[in-house]
Amino acid sequence: MKATNIYEEKHKWVMFGRDPDKPEGIIDTNQYLVCHNDRAIVLDPGGIEIFSNMLAALLHHVSIEQITDLFASHQDPDIISSLGLWDQALPNAKLHAPWLWESFIRHFGLSSIEYVAAPDDGGTIDLGGVKLEMIPAHYLHSSGNFHIYDPVAKILMSGDVGAALEPVGADIFVDDFDSHIDKMKMFHQRWMPSNRAKNDWISRVRKLDVQMMAPQHGRIFKGENVKKFLDWFEALEVGTAIG
Amino acid sequence: MSNDSAKKTVKNTAKNTAKEAAFVSSASMAAELELVAKVAKDMSISVKNAKAIANRAGAKARGFAPITDFIDEMSIDTMKLVSAINKESTALSRVAISELRTRDAYSKFIQVKNNSSDANFISSLSASIENIKVKQDEEQAELIKYAKKLKSLMDDISQKMAVANVIVANSRIEAVNAEEYRSNLETIADDIDKSCATIRERVNQSFHRLENAMDQWKRLATDESNKHI
C-alpha cells in the first residue's frame, strides 16, 4: 500500500491508498493517519479485505500503542468493516463515529474499543493538543455523516465528497481539474441524494480555510482546485437516479 | 425415496458435514433436534392414552401402569434434554464464530509481522499477538468444553432410548394379557417403539455431525498453528 505524507509541520498527515495488492473487485480507498507526539488517529480505516496491508503500512509510521483513536465518517463497509480486527489490535482505542450508526456499526464486531457517538452537530477530537473538528456532512452520502477538518494543517478529509473512480495507479493529487470532472461526475450525481444537503455542506465548507480536500476515493484537491471543486459541486444536480 | 437416492442423500450429507464449520454444525444440530422434542412430546401423549386404556382394563393390564409412568417420565426428560442441548449448541455456535474471528485476526497479525519486518514499529505488534493468542487458547478450550457437554447430553438421550426399548418389549408381554385391550395397547407400543427409533436415529446423526465438525475444526486449527511455526 502506498503511503504519502501530505502534511508534515506541527504534526503529520499521511495518506494510504493505491494498494496494488488489494483483492480484485473491491473499490480502492484512501485511509488517512493524523499523528501528533504519542497519539495517532486513523480516519476511515477501511474494509476487512485491506486490513493486513493497512496495518503493515501504519506500522512504518506509528506504533500500535500510539493509535489511540479511529474515526468512521459513516457506516459503509469500505469505511469500517475492518472494525472487528481493529478491536483485537487496539483494545484500548476509541472509535469516533455518527451516533446514528452506532447500533449498525457494532455489527462489524466491537467488544473492546469504545464507541464515542458524535452528535448531529459534530464536535472536536482532541489528539493531545491537535484539535480535529467533526464537520456535519449528513446525506453526503450517508444520512449520518461527518468530515474531519484540521484548522492547523488546513486539511478537510471529505469522505465521499470529491471522490473519483480511478485505476489503482492514479496520481495522488488532482492536476488538471477540468479533465478530472469526468471521473467524479457520475459518482456525485448517483451517490449524493440531496441538493439541499449538498448546498448546506458547501456553505459550511466555504467558511473554512481549506488548503487541501482529501476524499476517501480518488485524488486530493489542493489550493485553487478546492474552490474549483466547490463551484463545480454547487452547480451539479445530484440525486439523479429518480429521473 | 428409492434406495439409490437414499444412499446418495446419506453420502451427500456425510460429504457436506465433513466440510462444515463447527458453528454451522451446532446451529444445524439444534434445528434437527427440534424434531426429537416433537417426537418426545407425541410419545408422552401416546403414553397418556396407554395409561387411560390400562386404567379401563383394570386387573387385565395391571403390569402396564408402571411401564407407562416410566415412559411418560422418560419423554419429559428427553424434552428437557433437547432444551438443554439447544442452549449448549447455541453457546457452542457463538464461541465457534468468535474463535473463527480470533483465528482470522491472529493469522492476519502474523502475516503483517512476517511480511513487514522492516517496518519501524513492527515490534509494537507483539503484545497484540500475545493477547490474541491467549484469547484464542481460551476460546478453543471453551469450544472443547461445550462439545463435550453436548456429547454427554446426547449420550443421555441415547441411553434413555436403549432403556425404552427394553420397557417397550416388556409392555408387549403385558399387552398379551390385556384380552380385548390387547390390540390397542400393542398399537401404542408400536408407536412408542417407532418414536424411540426416530429419536435414536436423529441423535446419532447429530452426534456424528458434531464429531465431524470438531475433527474438521481440530485439523484446521492444527494446520493454522503449523503454518505459523
Distance, in Å, from the CA atom of A226 to the CA atom of A154, rounded to the nearest integer, reads 12
What number does CATH give the domain A2-242?
3.60.15.10
In chain A, where are the structural domains located? Answer: 2-242
Q: Which of B97, B102, B109 to mutate to test the interface with A (most CBs of A within 10 A)?
A: B109
**A104 close to A75: Cβ distance less than 8 angstroms:** yes
Residues of B in contact with A67 (CB under 8 A): none
pLDDT of residue B1: 42
Nearest of B150, B131, B140 to residue B98 by alpha carbon: B140
pLDDT of residue A242: 84
B110 touches chain A (CB under 8 A): no
Per residue in A197-241, pLDDT (tens digit) is 999 999 999 999 999 999 999 999 999 999 999 999 999 999 988
Q: pLDDT tier at A103 (50, 70, 90 boundaries)?
A: very high
Per residue in A12-66, pLDDT (tens digit) is 999 999 988 888 899 999 999 999 999 999 999 999 999 999 999 999 999 999 9
Q: Mean pLDDT over residues A103-122, rounded?
A: 96
Kindly identify which residue of chain A lies nearest to residue B123, measuring between CA atoms.
A63
**B52 close to B128: Cβ distance less than 8 angstroms:** no
Instruction: Determine, for residues A88 and B105 on separate chains, whether the beta-carbon distance falls below 8 Å.
Output: yes
B131 touches chain A (CB under 8 A): yes
Residues of B in contact with A85 (CB under 8 A): 104-105, 108
pLDDT of residue A69: 98
Kindly identify which residue of chain A lies nearest to residue B113, measuring between CA atoms.
A56
Kindly report which listed range (A119-128, A151-160, B192-201) carries the lowest average pLDDT score: B192-201
B152 touches chain A (CB under 8 A): no
C-alpha distance from A48 to closest chain B C-alpha (Å): 10
Ordered mean pLDDT values, 10 residues apiece, chain B (229 residues): 48 50 75 83 86 84 81 88 87 87 92 94 95 93 92 92 88 83 85 89 88 83 73
**A130 close to A150: Cβ distance less than 8 angstroms:** yes
- Long-range CB pairs of B115-120 (<8 Å, 24+ gap) are B115/A52, B115/A56, B116/A56, B116/A59, B116/A60, B119/A56, B119/A59, B119/A60, B120/A59, B120/A60, B120/A61
pLDDT of residue B229: 62
- How many beta carbons lie within 10 A of that of residue A144, not counting itself? 21
Residues of A in contact with B139 (CB under 8 A): none
Kindly identify which residue of chain A lies nearest to residue B135, measuring between CA atoms.
A88
Instruction: Determine, for residues A56 and B128 on separate chains, whether the beta-carbon distance falls below 8 Å.
Output: no
pLDDT of residue B8: 52
Nearest of B66, B88, B76 to residue B167 by alpha carbon: B66
A85 touches chain B (CB under 8 A): yes
